[in-house]
Amino acid sequence: MIAGLFSLVRPLLHAVDPERAHDLTIRSLALLPPAPPPRDDGRLAVEAFGRRFPNPVGLAAGFDKQCEVPDALLSLGFGFVECGGVVPRPQAGNPRPRVFRLARDGAIINRYGLNSDGLAAARARLERRAGRPGIVGVNIGANKDSPDRIADYETCAAALSGLVDFVTVNVSSPNTPGLRDLQGEAFLDAILARCIDAREKASGAKRAAILLKIAPDLSLESLDAIVATALQRQIDGLIVSNTTVSRPETLKERALAREAGGLSGAPLFRLSTRTLAETSLRVAGRMPLIGVGGVDSGEAAWAKIRAGASLIQLYSALVYRGPALIAAIKGRLLAEMEAAGLNSLAPAVGRDAAAIARGEF
Ligand SMILES: Cc1cc2nc3c(=O)[nH]c(=O)nc-3n(C[C@H](O)[C@H](O)[C@H](O)COP(=O)(O)O)c2cc1C
């Protein structure tokens, strides 16, 4: 029903400013009566981070930035939802306009700059849903003007890890100056150590997995160091990737492509999938990966899995294709599994990582 409604209102939503359209979408989702998610075929279930995901298709961070509608989003059929990015103190983010639709490219450029109602508001909203079913995580970052950014991650992890299934350390957002420098070895090691420590001390019904989300623009040397640090600190998994600061030559919307910010959607697919495959080759099965970036079809989702993802996430394609895409992806994954004679996705994970890392896909 929601998918049908979306096709009716999509022209209206796409006629207004992208940020207003998004706010209207969140407001509408908040009005939906509570509904259980559609039942998934058992073959789509994925075991990861000590949880059983009913299906591998998740909603990426940034859609429900203020943690307002995770349950409504789960009811659309997502196997998991990542809320946030949340930072400790409320901050406004960058001046508007700060989101741009590159419609002919199936892409978005955003420079929100982690606009956030702050940790107390996020925590209160997540507390209100405590005890409800469905896998929900939260993406955390640092305040732009923070004197101690490492402490900001610890503060967020301490406050939220008893309430959610996973906490994602976001050191890859391109829109907070200097944030991606935290992907450097010393900073990263300190952040991960302190988030794990905070998780151990946190009280609450849940014990969040600690995940790290990385950029698609890293050199292979930086990726080597990040994977080594993640493995040494024994975090629970990696999310590959955030938006890119690069602008592929193929973009059709040349004027909009000059806007500053992170590019997401179809033009990010190749870069993020290659980075995922390179990560998978280095991790070699020692922790699960979540593949994000340009997933706009079942075929793209299947490529992410073959590149090394146990789970996938999407954001931009939801804006262009609407929630009907979720069922379409699940259907295609089941068809691929049947064609390959598989009863679960696990044996396909990373199967083509070496070829995809070489660009053969
Ligand atoms: C408008 C917008 C806001 C986003 N905000 C966040 C964020 O707060 N934290 C984060 O880690 N990623 C954020 N992202 C990145 C997405 O989670 C995702 O990694 C990226 O968009 C690639 O996926 P896609 O091509 O399916 O959109 C944002 C993306 C968009 C388009």
pLDDT in tens, 86-139: 999 999 999 999 999 999 999 999 999 999 999 999 999 999 999 999 999 999
- The residue whose CA has the least distance to atom 21 of ligand 1 is 264
Which residues are catalytically annotated? 173
Query: For ligand 1, is residue 78 a contact (CB within 6 Å)?
Result: no
Query: For ligand 1, is residue 291 a contact (CB within 6 Å)?
Result: no
How confident is the model at residue 349, as a pLDDT? 98
Mean pLDDT computed over every residue of the chain: 96
Pocket test for ligand 1, best of 96, 243, 289 (most atoms within 8 A of CB): 243
How confident is the model at residue 333, as a pLDDT? 98
Cβ atoms within 10 Å, residue 285: 11
Query: For ligand 1, is residue 167 a contact (CB within 6 Å)?
Result: no
pLDDT in tens, 29-83: 999 998 999 999 999 999 999 999 999 999 999 999 999 999 999 999 999 999 9
Query: For ligand 1, is residue 18 a contact (CB within 6 Å)?
Result: no
What confidence tier does 10 reach under pLDDT thresholds 50, 70, 90?
confident
Query: For ligand 1, is residue 85 a contact (CB within 6 Å)?
Result: yes
How confident is the model at residue 5, as a pLDDT? 73
Q: Closest ligand 1 atom to the C-alpha of 239?
A: 19
Please compute the mean of the pLDDT values over residues 285-305 and round it to a whole number: 98
- The residue whose CA has the least distance to atom 26 of ligand 1 is 314
pLDDT in tens, 218-267: 999 999 999 999 999 999 999 999 999 999 999 999 999 999 999 999 99
pTM over 0.95: yes
How confident is the model at residue 11, as a pLDDT? 83
Residue 4 has pLDDT above 80, yes or no: no
pLDDT in tens, 184-220: 999 999 999 999 999 999 988 899 999 999 999 999 9
- The residue whose CA has the least distance to atom 28 of ligand 1 is 62
Centre of ligand 1 from the C-alpha of residue 111, in Å: 10
- The residue whose CA has the least distance to atom 5 of ligand 1 is 62
Pocket test for ligand 1, best of 315, 318, 321, 325 (most atoms within 8 A of CB): 315
How confident is the model at residue 6, as a pLDDT? 80
How confident is the model at residue 1, as a pLDDT? 66
Centre of ligand 1 from the C-alpha of residue 264, in Å: 7
Centre of ligand 1 from the C-alpha of residue 65, in Å: 10
Query: For ligand 1, is residue 242 a contact (CB within 6 Å)?
Result: yes
Residue that wins the pLDDT comparison between 7 and 160: 160
Centre of ligand 1 from the C-alpha of residue 215, in Å: 11
How confident is the model at residue 328, as a pLDDT? 98
Please compute the mean of the pLDDT values over residues 327-356 and round it to a whole number: 98
Centre of ligand 1 from the C-alpha of residue 343, in Å: 31
Centre of ligand 1 from the C-alpha of residue 242, in Å: 6
Write the secondary structure of the chain as one string of H (helix), E (strand) and C (coil).
Answer: CHHHHHHHHHHHHCCCCHHHHHHHHHHHHHHCCCCCCCCCCHHHCEEECCEEECCCEEECCCCCCCCCCHHHHHHCCCCEEEEEEECCCCECCCCCCCEEEEHHHCEEEECCCCCECCHHHHHHHHHHCCCCCCEEEEEECCCCCCCCHHHHHHHHHHHHCCCCCEEEEECCCCCCCCHHHHHCHHHHHHHHHHHHHHHHHCCCCCCCEEEEEECCCCCHHHHHHHHHHHHHCCCCEEEECCCECCCCCCCCCHHHHCCCCEEEEHHHHHHHHHHHHHHHHHHCCCCCEEEECCCCCHHHHHHHHHHCCCEEEECHHHHHHCCHHHHHHHHHHHHHHHHCCCCCCHHHCCCCHHHHHCCCC
Q: Closest ligand 1 atom to the C-alpha of 272?
A: 22
